[in-house]
Amino acid sequence: MPFAPAKSLSCLVAGAIAALAAAPATAEDYYAGRTIEFIVGGDSGGGYDIYARAVARHLGRHIPGNPAIVVKNMPGAGSTRAAIYISTVAPKDGSSVGGLMPGAIVGPLLEDKPMTQFDPTKVIYIGTADTGVRVCATHERSKIQTFAAAQKNKTIVGASSAGGATRDYAYLHNHTAGTNFSVVTGYKGTVDISLAMERGEVDGLCGWDWSSVKSQKGDWLRDKKLNILVQVGLDPQHELTEMGVPTIWTFVNNENDRRVAELVVSQQVFQRSYIVPPGTPGEQVKILRTAFDATMKDPQFLADAAKMKISITPLAGQQVQDIVTRLYATPREMVERARTVIKP
């Protein structure tokens, strides 16, 4: 076989060197010196912001190359604004992570006119930090101090926009548990609603994550300024049960109503979910999922979470991915019924 001309050999060698230089040899090479933007679909100081910043403080240590992680708030439409950004605008190279509310994930399934720019089955889930429980609560000054009282008397509750848990859960309870909640919408989030409770504008709110109650209003719990009316989750939460707080299923007597309510409440399985854009390379997905799982077990992170009184009951990214897929395979007739119970 004749030898290749020297010029051809030099071109081949130069091309090989360029290819080696272009492809990172290790994960450390890929993330070293880089920055990951961590988009939070909620207001600063809210429960989702508190969780996301806790995760962001520790996640970078578990990513080879130790990239910087910068948290940015992008509230709007129950975090759907952030979801659209992550799924359509954010770089698909492992440098963008989004923290979403469950409402953004189930919204396209349950809303009559969902924002079609976001498809929850297409994004990639890194994991969820909590699979927690939600509550209805009123301020100590309210005449409504039990869930049974809310079934018999008009109770004014503050809420965000459609797709937000504070709105959807209030209507869910009206339609399936017979409450008489009068829903005042337009608040930005639980921080603003709790201020309205303090000012006496509203009695309370529903769809409040129990972990957020403890982290945002631990002093109210300590000083007994809150009446916890009911706990809402697929299973009872031990701490709330010990406090004597009844489960929502005590008040839902119709079997069809219960099945529909369970569909809506199932979103809490992925209560603090984190996503990356569709099309993110598999290697970066694997790195981020591994780092997330390690963070959830990190003693420093868990100590930080305990200090802030936030619950950590994680699920791995693939588990969350599978749950979302199954949720979107729910029979149409059940979905249609669920859509009606979270509306006025």
Kind of pairing, strands 134-139 and 204-209? antiparallel
Average pLDDT, the chain: 90
CATH 3.40.190.150 placement within the chain: 27-131+271-341
DSSP annotation of 78:
G
What was the pLDDT predicted at 24?
A: 46
> Which residues of the chain fall below pLDDT 50?
1-14, 16-25
What lies within 8 Å, CB to CB, of 90 at 6+ separation is: 37, 39, 96, 98, 277
Task: Check residue 4 and give its pLDDT.
Answer: 45
Angle CA 288–292–293, to nearest 5: 120
The topology (CATH level 3) of 134-267 is D-Maltodextrin-Binding Protein; domain 2 (3.40.190)
Q: For 27-131+271-341, give the CATH class.
A: alpha beta
The model's pTM is 0.74
Q: Give CATH 3.40.190.10 domain extents, the chain.
A: 134-267
Q: What is the pLDDT of residue 263?
A: 93
Whether the Cβ atoms of residue 167 and residue 161 lie closer than 8 Å to each other? yes
Looking up tokens 């018999």 gives 152
Return the H-helix or E-strand segment holding 301.
Answer: helix 299-308
222 burial via Cβ count (<10 Å: 0-12, 13-18, 19+) = exposed
